[in-house]
Structure 1
């Protein structure tokens, strides 16, 4: 039902063709434009394009950010034999960006950001999304806490994350819904980052309330590389990337290996280590279709000092980098297999699909309340699970002419199945003795989906209606009850979308996005609520613009609003269900990019947010940890007499830590610096400094009720994880 077959409307003439780079690799999203008739097209993932309304002698321009523009005059054999176009790569420059030529202008801007300021750690990957703030609060192995558009997303509750079409978010996770550990990504393998904010994208469903982020890995690497980084706090990172088929144009293969150690600035060392192995193979078949295979494995272990109470530091009981319980920490691993196939089924119908499998393990020890519940043994908890994930995604894209209307139709369907065994919450002592099981069981969760999206171009307008359908089956077997019982519920959600774009000029685009999504839910919550309000709706709207007022500047703004009907949250640390009621958030996103010179690039993004609970009285309606102002940005230096690097800053203001704002989480402004020098094209040395000005800051903060061993009564106050002080790394890399 999701494959569209629509008859072609007779046109004057059409030209088929392909766009490749100088290495013979297909180029996706190249803009092919007929300067005589104004007809245009974008190349697909295999480089294929179909250009309508073309006549003999017309001039065709081909352009894409990062490639030299080329002009081609149409001759007779182009209609019979097609066009084969070859683009030469060049340095990405902001002044060459044309807003209306891009498939997604904001993602193209993100490509400029990534090119001018490459990431060098898995933490920095998410920071490439404008307005997104992250924080680490339990050793280097735990997933980061995420903030976006007035959401404390925790570890991924309200943002959909994927890598090469493979989901990162974990449903019904032992630590909490949506837990997203991106540490299995080696940053040097990232090719581009696609993102969107709000529930406006039809091919995104579960978790995509505040937005989504897609990471796509490189199909090939230009050269092999080895690097070594050594720094403060016993920091060590080694990287090896090896091109296995350097001289083959049709087939590419490479492997990457990363190993990291880090003790951190804490009195009790983290003893953190992580190993990543990643391999990718892809080949282009005789008909131009593409087959890819990716395999990866990741394993990590760490100790942690946990979140410490402010009163323990103020009294001198411990230092900022001390611990109340230094037996926290954990182990985690993930192995992935991902197969992808892309094909042209006919001259205007593209097919994309991937099938994936992940094997995942997680074990985490935490102590948030110290001696509140157990004054003798302490309150340490263990969270554990073993998981298998199976699934696939499929999409069909058809481009056609309906009269004078350029039309693009996309439809798709997919499946995700999670089998989670021994989901455990237990009371433990010293990480080796289980005192009591608080929750234990097996989760089996299925999500099937289908979507339809259309894009109609009417002169300067693009109107894009869409509809998504999700079906969920939630099952839970509680191992702590005597009789075997499968608790099960099902739910279907319809999510309509409507996005409108107005291209006022080639470098000024207005947009109005609207859509309905849903708040993700945990199987244990669903069965506990007996199927009530399983997938509460989220209603969103964005009004904004992307504008290049001058060739070297891009300015983007968005006014936005998001209303959530209800959120039921399974609190993995306590094994309980918490309803949070209706909420509304609205705000303003502002972004600015400016290329001062070919080698100096500036970017900054600010988000202003008002976030409140709807049903609570004024003054008691704050949403804990929801930021109302964030600011990120920096300056990047690129290839100035061999030097490259940059300075980056991030700011988050004071924010309420509880519902009445009587406890406040302190804001911070932190600056990082990196500088590299290339002696030649092969050998590079560099320095990376975190927290350049040695700011005293709290990376993550929570209002928590706890009791220390010598206290008679519990105290609720800020508990925090201290941010890293001044921290320097030296880096050496060699390409061959």
Structure 2
């Protein structure tokens, strides 16, 4: 309770520092000239005073207590032409401006290194969205610098994620949100934190807010290695229809339809986005993968101070899969690399989302955001990892399924203020998330249709109530500090439906997560920073009740020391030394229905991000990540963390000509890494090249994308697994893998109207 009182004191302190003088003020809003939508994060700089600020989440900015006179205000944003505005300030006045920027090709000279650490991260995000081609929903995660994904179950299963020396599985140590709605699934049938982003249509993504480490009070459960928040477009400037086709029976259509086009900022807008995707895949057994996505989004400024956003989205998909295969079966010629031991694997999944957000601007420049959301989610996954290890007659096929409803709300208040005479900004928030997960089931099945027995079957109810406060203070013109505190309260409830009696258990647990960031603006092109904080991820409810509430909210302790440097107007570098320690935890193994201990771990490394504009039309970008991951309290030589990446790099060249031609050549490199604790087995690394080429003429866009242009033989997902084949007497523990895509090309045609 002491921690709760501290948090309430912070909130009270914030509310007591809201008002201050509003004389000789210039305030305004920065807009996209084509869509009339605001541009949060825009840079606004007054040349004569050599001071600047960033537009807030509403695209608004303000300068206070200016002396009378004429000032030149430079406004810039990545991907838009810079604009200069003359402003005449008179004593006792409050001027309101509306500044529209025209979209243009990215010019690195417009990228500004600021004292605001959040703004620096979002600048890199804005550059990357322009540069990194996104062809499918699976590519959405690749926007995050240094993040790798692996698909190993027919295209419909959520991707395996690698980041900062973590094999995150499907989302255990990265928090993911879309338009404020959580993607991570707590107490999921397959694995804790399971994150399926396939309901996002790539062409609708407008902004990505991401960062690494557990340093952000607004981010909660699963924010240990990092977080990524995806935001879909609020408005469309025009409608579009695209059709794609390629090898292996691949076909995709996308439609973005402007149902109610806004002519002015205050006009309502409504658009519909749809996507259909199908492919047989490159395996010998066709995947028959089908997915349909839709998004309906409404946006309206209700009055001078309130904006309403409503959306409905959903997707459904089904697929067959060949699963992971043992290396020995390929070596002895039983199957090829693209063959299968059990090709009756596969699944079906669907999700429907309802989301609403009301934003209220206040006269003091602050704003409230009130969000309510609901999701209906269904999941059914059929797998076979060990083949005939446990059941020599019927095989070891398992089916995991669940039927979930998610109810949630997020409410926050942000304002600029003065704290002890220093410029500051405050954000406070409260909210909740409630998961009602019925019939969470793990069954032994035969041929995907017959249930042989249930290994686990029950109902999960999990609630998370949270509150946070974060204060950013400019201690000097060069030195800023961000201090935050977050409180999370969990209720875990499980009813075991396999018990002969009514068996229901419930546990409550809370945690407090302090955060601290310091930024020093050494000069206009160099920002030095230090970040530290504690994050956590919750354990599966079935772990919680099995452990009687002990060690169920394992914490992560992190620190980053780094710099964002722009040595020339066309070169941007972000470098960081970091370390992250995780507490002991117990893990619910969804594939077996058992609880296993997982000891303390430590990861430390170096991250390097480079963005370089070589010429007006040629760009280079690269992310390089070195990590030393190790298990603690373990004998030397047996302290490897299975599948933890140690060296990764992603990058490439992008070009964009005024004649309409554009394209990219990108690489992905993942080094060899330990597949088990003593490194006696190695998960092989790979180096891949992908390319895109596009041509735009009038309202038409032609495109060609090629994956693995060198047709490299590589393994996408790899695990050490003990298995037995039908004709084997004894089991074998070795690498099991899913082969990566061979050379694969797609053509696309899009028309705007």
TM-score bracket relative to the smaller structure: over 0.9
Residue 19 (str. 1) matches residue 24 (str. 2): no
CA contact (8 A) 1:29 1:64 kept: no
Matching residue within 63, 71, 96 for 1:82: 96
CA distance in 2: counterparts of 1:560 and 1:146, whole angstroms: 19
Q: Return 397-406 or 635-644, whichever deviates more.
A: 397-406
Deviation sequence 1:663-699 (CA, Å, 0-9, x none): 1111011111111112x23112121111100000000
Cα offset for 1:656?
0.7
Look up the match of 1:480.
Answer: 498
CA contact (8 A) 2:670 2:686 kept: yes
Look up the match of 1:253.
Answer: 270
CA contact (8 A) 1:27 1:47 kept: yes
CA contact (8 A) 2:24 2:68 kept: no
CA contact (8 A) 2:279 2:290 kept: yes
Q: Return 647-656 or 161-170, whichever deviates more.
A: 647-656
CA distance in 2: counterparts of 1:533 and 1:706, whole angstroms: 31
Look up the match of 2:512.
Answer: 494
CA distance in 2: counterparts of 1:492 and 1:247, whole angstroms: 45
CA contact (8 A) 1:32 1:60 kept: no
Cα offset for 1:36?
4.0
CA distance in 2: counterparts of 1:248 and 1:699, whole angstroms: 47
Look up the match of 2:66.
Answer: 54
SS of residue paired to 1:108: helix
SS of residue paired to 1:483: coil
CA contact (8 A) 2:186 2:194 kept: yes
Q: CA separation of 1:602/1:7 partners in 2, compared to 1, >3 Å: closer, same or farther? A: closer
Matching residue within 148, 164, 170 for 2:163: 148
CA distance in 1: counterparts of 2:649 and 2:106, whole angstroms: 25
Look up the match of 1:645.
Answer: 663
Look up the match of 2:3.
Answer: none
Residue 561 (str. 1) matches residue 579 (str. 2): yes
Cα offset for 1:222?
1.4
CA contact (8 A) 2:44 2:76 kept: no
Q: CA separation of 1:11/1:290 partners in 2, compared to 1, >3 Å: closer, same or farther? A: closer
Query: TM-score w.r.t. structure 2 length?
Result: 0.95
Query: TM-score w.r.t. structure 1 length?
Result: 0.97
SS of residue paired to 2:386: coil
CA distance in 2: counterparts of 1:589 and 1:195, whole angstroms: 15
Matching residue within 178, 194, 198 for 2:213: 198
Cα offset for 1:517?
1.2
CA contact (8 A) 1:93 1:112 kept: no
Q: Return 86-95 or 357-366, whichever deviates more.
A: 86-95
Q: CA separation of 1:726/1:228 partners in 2, compared to 1, >3 Å: closer, same or farther? A: same
Q: CA separation of 1:112/1:626 partners in 2, compared to 1, >3 Å: closer, same or farther? A: same
CA distance in 2: counterparts of 1:456 and 1:39, whole angstroms: 16
Residue 115 (str. 1) matches residue 130 (str. 2): yes
Q: CA separation of 1:211/1:247 partners in 2, compared to 1, >3 Å: closer, same or farther? A: closer
CA contact (8 A) 2:115 2:478 kept: no
Cα offset for 1:38?
4.6
Q: Return 689-698 or 338-347, whichever deviates more.
A: 338-347
CA contact (8 A) 2:41 2:119 kept: no
CA distance in 2: counterparts of 1:380 and 1:422, whole angstroms: 19
Look up the match of 1:511.
Answer: 529
Residue 571 (str. 1) matches residue 586 (str. 2): no
CA contact (8 A) 2:115 2:480 kept: no
CA contact (8 A) 1:158 1:520 kept: no
Look up the match of 2:558.
Answer: 540
Look up the match of 1:329.
Answer: 346
Cα offset for 1:120?
1.9
Look up the match of 1:433.
Answer: 450
Residue 675 (str. 1) matches residue 675 (str. 2): no
* Runs of 5+ unmatched residues, structure 2: 1-7
Runs of 4+ displaced beyond 6 Å: none
Look up the match of 1:6.
Answer: 17
CA distance in 1: counterparts of 2:710 and 2:51, whole angstroms: 53
Matching residue within 388, 394, 409 for 1:377: 394
Matching residue within 189, 195, 220 for 1:180: 195
Cα offset for 1:254?
0.9
Look up the match of 2:5.
Answer: none
Q: For residues 595-634 of structure 1, what are the structure 2 equivalents within 5 Å?
A: 595-634=613-652
Over the aligned positions, Cα root-mean-square deviation in angstroms equals 1.6
CA distance in 2: counterparts of 1:690 and 1:503, whole angstroms: 41
How many residue pairs match? The answer is 735
Residue 362 (str. 1) matches residue 379 (str. 2): yes
Deviation sequence 1:580-599 (CA, Å, 0-9, x none): 11110000001111111121
SS of residue paired to 2:348: strand
Residue 722 (str. 1) matches residue 739 (str. 2): yes
Look up the match of 1:421.
Answer: 438
CA distance in 1: counterparts of 2:239 and 2:542, whole angstroms: 47
CA contact (8 A) 1:9 1:402 kept: no
Q: CA separation of 1:80/1:452 partners in 2, compared to 1, >3 Å: closer, same or farther? A: closer
Cα offset for 1:341?
1.2
Look up the match of 1:91.
Answer: 105
Look up the match of 1:32.
Answer: 44
Look up the match of 1:344.
Answer: 361
Residue 43 (str. 1) matches residue 55 (str. 2): yes
CA distance in 2: counterparts of 1:9 and 1:301, whole angstroms: 57
Matching residue within 538, 543, 552 for 1:525: 543
Deviation sequence 1:556-592 (CA, Å, 0-9, x none): 1110001111122111000011111111000000111
CA distance in 2: counterparts of 1:671 and 1:77, whole angstroms: 60
CA distance in 2: counterparts of 1:60 and 1:401, whole angstroms: 25
CA distance in 1: counterparts of 2:713 and 2:61, whole angstroms: 54
CA distance in 2: counterparts of 1:47 and 1:625, whole angstroms: 42
Cα offset for 1:349?
2.2
Cα offset for 1:334?
0.2
Cα offset for 1:505?
1.1
Residue 69 (str. 1) matches residue 86 (str. 2): no
CA distance in 1: counterparts of 2:516 and 2:292, whole angstroms: 43
Look up the match of 1:228.
Answer: 243
Q: CA separation of 1:225/1:400 partners in 2, compared to 1, >3 Å: closer, same or farther? A: same
Q: CA separation of 1:685/1:11 partners in 2, compared to 1, >3 Å: closer, same or farther? A: closer
CA distance in 2: counterparts of 1:55 and 1:112, whole angstroms: 35
Cα offset for 1:417?
0.3
Q: CA separation of 1:51/1:260 partners in 2, compared to 1, >3 Å: closer, same or farther? A: same
SS of residue paired to 1:597: coil
CA contact (8 A) 2:23 2:91 kept: no
CA distance in 1: counterparts of 2:469 and 2:162, whole angstroms: 30
